[in-house]
């Protein structure tokens, strides 16, 4: 594509020399990936400044540079007010605005995003629609899996991915939208048709200045729900009526609102909820009818996830019997409330709870069904919200009979100081918890403790298959370690 065409969506920019006739083969934001014919966009990051890599980009063959700060180079430089926003617009233009064609659902909220996207994935598949899913676990197009680094990728990878979905005839795209992504502008330029809000509780206060700032970032998704529409469909904000933040979120969209809830009156509701150790049943009330659901998903929080997914499916014209069939066919979501082995006389569950609220939800659910003791293995991630650490430790001690505090992904932090943050100031009998820095040892210890009818919850890492210590990601899978520990104990 001609550079002048790539820049068409920009209202103003200033080029240092003529850009007529320049052909762009691809856009890059990492100088190390630049090839002959690349347009290099300089992003001032959290770690380094892309503007410092212009020479490397030129050496690798960049034909032009996009910058928001002064740089010098031997190829034309185009100065713009904001490189990140510009990147999103250029990527949308370069990949021919794929989300104008593919219907797109975005899911935001502190907890439940991944779960809701996979519920929707199953619902649309059962409705014979080919799906593309982007989120924490991976990117999936049809049956093809692509590993990704972020829950919501940068604007470039995102638009490339949507283009790939379009080329592979995807009927429905579904993505998690993190607060970081909204704040940085990774989803700027995405044409969402449906935006879902799950809930808001404390997380990411390392990044956002306050919970209000965190909420403001989430709100951007609903403010972004635009006025364009796919023929025959309308845009919808799907909102959890039982969450206190919903009022503000409802006020932040100009589009239709479809609410869901259990406690408060909503458009999509659950009544007659029965929670049991093997699953959940409830009556699903919707504007298109009422139907009973018997799901294998456990816990009230999953009723909310099913309501959110059902509301979005209804807004996408999926019939109620397909929704029921899909919800009832789902056995679980990778690394969420996932049982490990099953022959042993005690239960071992791996879960991705890594916020105070999600940990409380999972432990409260377990407490409802526990016949004997609950053991929990939990740590907190390094380089992440420090203020959630003592809250998570407190929740663990409130609900479990015994806690083992250990490492999650320490990243660049000292694991022992993360553990100190967790336990400093907590007011519990020292005999109720142990501190074992090594996660494998901690898992072995919890399983050693477990007797018949006990439950061991291994929380925080769910589907993750690595543990990041410093800058190195070591192979580590809670489920495999737990299996090993059970085998060692039971042989």
Ligand X SMILES: CC(=O)N[C@H]1[C@@H](OP(=O)(O)OP(=O)(O)OC[C@H]2O[C@@H](n3ccc(=O)[nH]c3=O)[C@H](O)[C@@H]2O)O[C@H](CO)[C@@H](O)[C@@H]1O[C@H](C)C(=O)N[C@@H](C)C(=O)N[C@H](CCC(=O)O)C(=O)O
Is the Cβ–Cβ distance between 106 and 148 less than 8 Å? no
Which of 151, 295, 407, 468 binds ligand ATP (CB under 6 A)? It is: 151
Cβ 178 to ligand API shortest distance, Å = 7
Q: Using the rule CB under 6 A, is 365 a contact of ligand ATP?
A: no
Burial profile 180-203: b = 16 or more Cβ within 10 angstroms, e = fewer: ebbbbbbbbbbbbbbbbbbbbbbb
**Terminal CA-CA length for the chain:** 64
Q: Using the rule CB under 6 A, is 113 a contact of ligand ATP?
A: yes
Part in contact with ligand ATP (CB under 6 A); list of ranges 107-115, 219-227, 260-268, 382-390: 107-115
Part in contact with Mg ion (CB under 5 A); list of ranges 14-22, 110-118, 338-346, 391-399: 110-118
Q: Using the rule CB under 5 A, is 336 a contact of Mg ion?
A: no
Instruction: Name the helix (H) or strand (E) containing 394.
Output: helix 388-399
Smaller CB distance to ligand ATP: residue 80 or 105?
105
The closest residue (CB) to ligand X is 45
Q: Using the rule CB under 6 A, is 178 a contact of ligand X?
A: yes
Q: Using the rule CB under 6 A, is 353 a contact of ligand ATP?
A: yes
Say which entry of ligand API, ligand ATP, ligand X, none residue 180 contacts (CB below 5 to 8 A, set by partner kind): ligand X
Question: By CB under 6 A, what part of segment 370-409 binds ligand API?
Answer: 381, 384, 408-409
User: Burial, 212: exposed, middle or buried (Cβ in 10 Å; 0-12, 13-18, 19+)?
Assistant: exposed
Q: Using the rule CB under 6 A, is 136 a contact of ligand ATP?
A: yes
Question: Do you know the residue count of the chain?
Answer: 491
Determine how many CB atoms are found less than 10 A away from the CB of residue 318.
Answer: 22
How wide is the angle at C-alpha 238 spanned by C-alphas 118 and 135, nearest 5°?
30
Say which entry of ligand API, ligand X, ligand ATP, none residue 389 contacts (CB below 5 to 8 A, set by partner kind): none
Part in contact with ligand API (CB under 6 A); list of ranges 38-46, 162-170, 190-198, 457-465: 457-465
Smaller CB distance to ligand API: residue 57 or 469?
469
Q: How far apart are CA 355 and CA 22, in angstroms?
A: 49
Is the Cβ–Cβ distance between 96 and 123 less than 8 Å? no
Applying CB under 6 A, the site for ligand API has a residue count of: 10
Q: How far apart are CA 277 and CA 117, in angstroms?
A: 24
Hey, which bits of 379-452 come out as E strands? 402-405, 433-435
Cβ 267 to ligand X shortest distance, Å = 27
Is the Cβ–Cβ distance between 234 and 194 less than 8 Å? no
Which of 460, 463, 481, 486 binds ligand API (CB under 6 A)? It is: 460
Q: Using the rule CB under 5 A, is 113 a contact of Mg ion?
A: yes
Which of 50, 112, 132, 382 binds ligand ATP (CB under 6 A)? It is: 112
Q: Using the rule CB under 6 A, is 461 a contact of ligand API?
A: yes
Closest to 404 in 3D by CA, of 380, 377, 425 = 377
Question: By CB under 6 A, what part of segment 146-185 binds ligand API?
Answer: 151
Determine how many CB atoms are found less than 10 A away from the CB of residue 441.
Answer: 14
Part in contact with ligand API (CB under 6 A); list of ranges 232-240, 386-394, 433-441, 459-467: 459-467
- Residues comprising the binding site? 31, 109-115, 150-152, 178, 186, 384, 408-411, 460, 464
- With a CB cutoff of 8 Å and minimum separation 6, the contacts of 127 are 313, 318, 319, 322, 326
Is the Cβ–Cβ distance between 490 and 451 less than 8 Å? no
Q: Using the rule CB under 5 A, is 114 a contact of Mg ion?
A: yes
Residues forming contacts to ligand X in the complex (CB under 6 A) are 29-32, 43, 45-48, 50, 53, 136, 149-152, 154, 178, 180-181
């Amino acid at each position: 594509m001609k550079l002048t065409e790539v820049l068409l969506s920009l209202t103003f920019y200033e080029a240092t020399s003529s850009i007529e006739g320049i052909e762009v083969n691809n856009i890059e934001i990492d100088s190390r990936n630049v090839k002959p014919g690349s347009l290099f966009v300089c992003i001032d990051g959290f770690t380094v400044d892309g503007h410092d890599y212009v020479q490397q980009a030129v050496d690798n063959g960049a034909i032009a540079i996009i910058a928001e700060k002064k740089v010098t180079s031997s190829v034309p430089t185009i100065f713009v007010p904001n490189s990140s926003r510009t990147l999103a617009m250029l990527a949308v233009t370069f990949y021919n605005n794929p989300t104008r064609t593919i219907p797109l659902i975005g899911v935001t909220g502190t907890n439940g995003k991944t779960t809701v996207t996979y519920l929707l994935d199953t619902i649309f598949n059962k409705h014979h629609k080919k799906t593309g899913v982007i989120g924490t676990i991976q990117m999936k197009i049809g049956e093809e899996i692509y590993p990704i680094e972020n829950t919501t990728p940068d604007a470039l990878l995102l638009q490339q991915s949507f283009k790939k979905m379009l080329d592979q005839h995807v009927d429905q795209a579904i993505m998690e939208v993190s607060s970081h992504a909204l704040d940085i502008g990774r989803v700027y330029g995405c044409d969402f048709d449906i935006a879902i809000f799950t809930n808001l509780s404390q997380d990411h206060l390392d990044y956002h200045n306050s919970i209000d700032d965190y909420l403001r970032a989430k709100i951007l998704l609903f403010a972004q729900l635009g006025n364009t529409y796919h023929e025959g469909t309308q845009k919808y904000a799907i909102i959890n009526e039982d969450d206190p933040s919903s009022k503000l979120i409802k006020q932040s969209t100009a589009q239709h609102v479809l609410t869901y809830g259990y406690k408060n009156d909503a458009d999509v509701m659950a009544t007659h909820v029965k929670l049991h150790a093997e699953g959940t049943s409830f009556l699903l009330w919707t504007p298109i009818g009422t139907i009973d659901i018997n799901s294998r998903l456990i816990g009230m929080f999953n009723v909310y996830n099913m309501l959110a997914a059902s509301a979005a499916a209804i807004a996408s014209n999926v019939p109620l019997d397909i929704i029921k069939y899909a919800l009832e066919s789902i056995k679980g979501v990778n690394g969420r409330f996932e049982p490990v082995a099953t022959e042993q006389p005690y239960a071992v569950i791996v879960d991705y709870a890594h916020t105070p609220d999600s940990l409380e939800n999972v432990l409260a659910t377990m407490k409802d069904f526990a016949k004997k003791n609950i053991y929990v293995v939990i740590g907190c991630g390094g380089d992440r919200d420090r203020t959630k650490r003592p809250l998570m430790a407190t929740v663990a001690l409130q609900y479990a009979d015994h806690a083992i505090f250990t490492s999650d992904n320490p990243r660049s932090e000292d694991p022992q100081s993360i553990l100190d943050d967790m336990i400093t100031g907590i007011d519990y009998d020292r005999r109720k918890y142990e501190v074992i820095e090594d996660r494998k040892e901690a898992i072995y210890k919890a399983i050693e403790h477990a007797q018949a009818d006990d439950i061991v919850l291994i929380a925080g890492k769910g589907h993750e298959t690595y543990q990041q210590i410093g800058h190195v990601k070591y192979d580590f899978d809670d489920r495999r370690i737990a299996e090993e520990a059970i085998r060692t104990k039971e042989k």
